[in-house]
Amino acid sequence: MNRIYAGWRLMGVDGVSFTAPATPGNIRAFGLPKGGDTAQSTGGFPLVSKVSLVELGSHVEYAIALRSQAQGKRQSPGVW
């Protein structure tokens, strides 16, 4: 069921962060988060952020953007 308001489809933006398995491919793609006792310390698992553009009626994801949290909390350019 589509949600319509004044002729517009209602959409929302939702985000989530999660850990990924520490496989060689995931570490290459997402890196390991920085932090710990020394400047060279890293976390044990890659941290991934996902932002989704979702239709509110059907909950269909129309667009997603994934990025590593090893880069810090900067804005992702050109998500949509």
Contacts 24+ apart (CB under 8 A), 64-69: 68/29, 68/30, 68/31, 69/17, 69/30, 69/33
pLDDT in tens, the chain (80 residues): 567 778 888 999 999 999 999 999 999 988 888 777 777 777 788 989 999 999 988 899 999 998 888 755 555 555 54
Q: How does DSSP assign 5-30, residue by residue?
A: ETTEE-EEEEEEEEE----HHHHHHH
Is the pTM higher than 0.85? no
The answer to whether 16 and 50 have CB atoms below 8 angstroms apart is: yes
Query: Which pLDDT score is estimated for 53?
Result: 95
Query: Which pLDDT score is estimated for 11?
Result: 92
- Name the DSSP class of 70: G
